[in-house]
Amino acid sequence: AVVSTQSGHYAGINGSNANNNRVSDLFRSVQLNINNPHFLIMQGRITKVLNMKPQEILSMIEEAAGTSLYESKKQSALKTIEKKDNKLTDINKILDEELNPTLEKLKAERASYLEYQKIQRQIETLTRLVVAYKFTRAEHVDQNAAGDVVSLQDQIKMVDVEVDKKEKSTDCDSALIPL
């Protein structure tokens, strides 16, 4: 312990002389802060401490034990948490007011676009079917027309044959009839 005398300071541990650093190291080894004003209660201040209110005594004990330092850190952390909560609330508000409606609008536009693409694919498929049908129909008409042409050519040949017969018969008849 350190004792003040008129001639100076005396530092000792268990009755033997020790320097101030050795005494400080002893107290720090048991985690006592000798720089705290409430580390030692002087003899004249004991009555003042006894007359303190319970909250004041608790505060003094917390300061002596070093827990008041943690209380200030706790308050600082709580303020930081509050700031972060406010920021989170602001972010959620922005999400709800601006981003979510925009996201919903984009989702609706995407659904419309996908529906448009689906309809476009259906139109392309149906257009191909129509072209294929028209082609098939045209081939069928062409085949029928080819058959009709052959039939008509046959009829023309038959008519030509008959016309030739009639002309021959008319020539024969005219040769028989004297003029």
Instruction: Note the pLDDT tens digit of each residue in 49-64.
Output: 778 888 888 877 777 6
Q: Tell me the pLDDT tens digit for each residue of 1-33.
A: 444 444 555 566 676 777 767 777 776 666 666
Q: Tell me the pLDDT tens digit for each residue of 67-103.
A: 766 777 888 999 999 999 999 999 999 989 988 999 9
Which residue type is seen at 8? G
Whether 64 contacts 36, CB under 8 Å: yes
DSSP assignment of 56-95, as one string? HHHHHHHHHHTHHHHHHHHHHHHHHHHHHHHHHHHHHHHI
114 vs 39, more confident = 114
The reported pTM is 0.41
C-alpha to C-alpha distance for 109 and 74, rounded to whole angstroms: 49
